[in-house]
Amino acid sequence: MGYLDNSSVTVDAILTLKGRELLAKGGNAFQITQFAVGDDEIDYSLYNANHPLGTNFYGTIIENLPITEAVPDETQALKYKLVSLPKQTTNLPVVTVGNSSITLQGPGNSSVIGPNTANIQGGNANLGYTAILSASTVADIQVTQALSNPGTLPTTPRFIGDNEDAQSVAVAGFEFKVVAKTLIVASKTATVTIIGNETGGSTTINLTVNKATTANLNLSK
């Protein structure tokens, strides 16, 4: 990754790995129908309302931050997408779930996750949510309420490191279920991150799967 010269307006357009995959399929597989913009590079804590030179300089540092080149890995780009909301909007859409943590007592135990979007009518009603399980060695994640047209689903960044990426699982829908795997040696933890595919925003659930015992192994049969 490099930086672009922000002294002039530059459009740096590339195909992501997903784009190359679709282009290679030929036919009508590759079609650009939508776009998104984001502000991943911006650190808004640098806004200085106490700048000695006055209001015109409050955002000087932000305006001079470097802009990164386009990233070919779509799972690591556009973490913070910008959204358009109606005028007079006073509250941003917020993705919510019933519980901030889930504990599964043994193999085969499951819990349903039903996300909602507050502060906006019909939020994520078309493209639903993406659920990212950080560790597939701990549990499985399934879609229990599918999208009506999954082909229109936007790519969602996974926000995790290289080590976790190999173990993570991402699915899209309106409702999900996590199912515990059999853990013989020790209990393990993971996270389930729910992301709104239209409004942006996310929430993270801490998942714990307890070690298998004779009692819960019998219960799972």
For residue 163, the domain's CATH number is 2.60.40.60
Whether residues 135 and 98 fall in one domain: yes
pLDDT for 13 equals: 84
At residue 203 the predicted structure's pLDDT band, cuts being 50, 70 and 90, is: very high
Biggest alpha carbon distance in the chain? 71
More confident residue, 174 or 183: 174
Check residue 86 and give its pLDDT.
81
Domain residue limits at 29: 1-82
- What average pLDDT does the structure give for the chain? 85
The residue among 82, 116, 137 that closes a domain is 82
- For residue range 86-98, what is the model confidence (pLDDT) as tens digits? 888 888 899 999 8
* pLDDT at residue 123 in the model: 84
16 and 115 both lie in a single domain: no
- The model's confidence at residue 141, banded by pLDDT at 50, 70 and 90, is very high
Phi then psi dihedrals of residue 62, to 5 deg = -60, -45
| Predicted structure pTM score | 0.77
pLDDT score, position 188: 93
Task: Say if 88 falls within a structural domain.
Answer: no
Residue 89 resides in a domain: no
Q: What span, in angstroms and rounded, lies between the C-alpha atoms of 187 and 174?
A: 29
pLDDT at 180: 94
**Does residue 73 sit in the same domain as residue 109?**
no
- Residue pLDDT, tens place only, 33-78: 878 888 888 899 999 999 999 999 999 998 888 888 888 888 777 8
In a domain, 87, yes or no: no
Over the range 166-181, which residues count as b (16 or more CB within 10 Å of their CB) and which as e?
Answer: eebbbebbbbbbbebb
Selection from 164, 165, 110 nearest residue 141 by Cα:
110
**Which tokens sit at 58?**
């409050």
Count helices and strands (H / E) in the chain: 4, 12
User: Could you say which DSSP state residue 182 is in?
Assistant: P
> Does residue 131 share a domain with residue 78?
no
Does residue 152 have a pLDDT over 80?
A: no
User: Mean pLDDT throughout 83-87?
Assistant: 82
12: buried, middle or exposed (CB in 10 Å: 19+, 13-18, 0-12)?
exposed
* 148 and 105 in a common domain: yes
Number of domains in the chain: 2
Q: Is residue 18 part of a domain?
A: yes
Do 117 and 93 contact (CB within 8 A), yes or no?
A: yes
Whether the per-residue pLDDT at 25 is higher than 80: the answer is yes
Q: Is the pLDDT of residue 5 over 60?
A: yes
H/E run at residue 133: strand 129-133
